[in-house]
């Protein structure tokens, strides 16, 4: 969900423009690299939350990109049992580092929105629902 398209940066050789979608994918990849992140959340609006795969990394990421700066909102689902403040801080560091390293843009803020907690399925031994009464 891009808000503002990046301005052109002029160089001696021509212009460079980084599409907001590129920033979204970088931020999404950086967020799911963090241990404890179960996935990206599908929506900011309407409270619709869905676990998204790698194909939809830009879903759950909203960016504002200027000529030299970027601001990022990342919406995630955490795995149950992890400390949310620690995960959020690590996401902020990883997203900022990745975007700045790959694009040269200065990241002014990374807001992390936790939309859900994912519980791992517990494997239970299969029990017969209806035991055979007659052999």
User: What tens digit of pLDDT does each residue of 2-53 get?
Assistant: 344 445 567 788 888 889 999 999 999 999 999 999 988 875 443 444 444 4
pLDDT confidence tier of residue 120, bands split at 50, 70 and 90: confident
Q: Work out the pLDDT band at 121, boundaries 50, 70, 90.
A: confident
pLDDT band at 57 (very low <50, low <70, confident <90, very high): low
**Residue range 66-112, pLDDT digits in tens:** 889 999 999 999 999 999 999 999 999 999 999 999 999 999 999 99
Residue with more model confidence, 115 or 7: 115
Question: With b meaning 16 or more CB within 10 Å and e meaning fewer, what string describes 16-32?
Answer: eebebebbbebbbbbbb
- Residue 44 has what pLDDT? 44
Can you say whether residue 19 is alpha, beta or left, with left for phi > 0 and alpha for psi between -120 and 50 degrees? beta
């Amino acid at each position: 969900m891009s808000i503002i398209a990046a301005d052109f940066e002029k160089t001696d050789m021509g212009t460079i423009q980084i599409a907001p979608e590129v920033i979204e994918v970088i931020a999404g990849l950086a967020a799911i690299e963090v241990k404890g992140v179960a996935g990206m959340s599908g929506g900011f609006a309407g409270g619709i939350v869905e676990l998204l795969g790698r194909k939809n990394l830009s879903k759950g990421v909203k960016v504002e990109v200027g000529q030299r700066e970027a601001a990022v909102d990342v919406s995630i689902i955490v795995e149950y049992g992890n400390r949310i403040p620690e995960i959020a801080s690590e996401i902020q560091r990883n997203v900022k580092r990745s975007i700045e390293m790959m694009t040269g843009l200065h990241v002014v803020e990374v807001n992390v929105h936790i939309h859900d907690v994912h519980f791992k399925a517990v494997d239970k031994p299969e029990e017969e629902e209806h035991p055979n009464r007659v052999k």
